[in-house]
Amino acid sequence: MNYFSELKGKKILVVGGSKGIGKDIALAFVQLGADVIITGRNEEDLRKTTAELIEFNSNCSYLIADIQNVNQIYNMIDQAYERLERIDILINNAGVNIPKPALEVTEEDWDQVLDTNLKGTFFCSQRAGKYMIEQGVSGKIINIVSQMAFVGYVKRAAYCSSKGGAVQLTKALAIEWADKQIKVNAVAPTFIETDFTKQMFDNKDFHKDVLSRIPLGELAKPNDVTGAVLFLASDMANFITGETIRVDGGWTAI
């Protein structure tokens, strides 16, 4: 059996797809024959990643959008539909964290984290879901959340709140759109080794503390998350909705 062969020709939108986890996800889909659009705020990063995607499939492109802004979200989703004519799979990967002690978190910090990680995820899903329903597409929405949705951690009050909310949002949309055959699921990684997190892990005490909480004894890599995403996107997961797969090396099993 050729697993994931059904993903060939699928129309994929990866929100937050220019680097890190999102880039790895986009590259995996395009190598399986899907048409992929990535989005983000940094055009230089988007151009570089799109150039890599085009090496596998010329029907790939990017869109610039800040998902803290609902009007930009709507415009981005609308443009994606114009280019792709439909969206089979939406990956909500864009996220931000501002690590600060709870007593130092400002309203601006809180709003930036919640607006990106929760509000942005909702309105991307709302707009894409609207098109899926109108076109009768049995689509899939996959939200990249975090194991911080299930456990607390220092300097993560806003982040934990946003990701916990995204898990509940995943369940709510899964129930509401089940009769439309739209499956909504999430993937919850632990800390991932990326360029973005490298600076954090240069702190030896932080690195040691994180590893002490992961029974498998190592950090996850982007492809560990991508494997879970591909599974949920594939036909093997057609009877799964409202679930969150934890890719955390056992952190939340303790």
Task: State whether the Cα torsion 32-35-41-42 is positive or negative.
Answer: positive
Mean pLDDT computed over 196-219? 90
pTM value is 0.96
pLDDT > 70? residue 165: yes
244 burial via Cβ count (<10 Å: 0-12, 13-18, 19+): buried
Provide mean pLDDT across the span 127-135.
98
Q: Which residues are catalytic?
A: 159
pLDDT of residue 68: 97
Which residue intervals of 115-233 are DSSP H helices? 120-135, 157-176, 195-201, 204-212, 222-233
Q: 200 with 209: CB under 8 angstroms?
A: no
Q: Which amino acid is at 83?
A: R
- Note the CATH architecture for domain 5-192+221-253: 3-Layer(aba) Sandwich (3.40)
pLDDT of residue 237: 97
Tens-place pLDDT, residues 135-163: 999 999 999 999 999 999 999 999 999 99
Q: Are 81 and 93 in contact (CB under 8 A)?
A: no
**pLDDT bracket for residue 70 (50, 70, 90):** very high
Domain ranges of the chain: 5-192+221-253
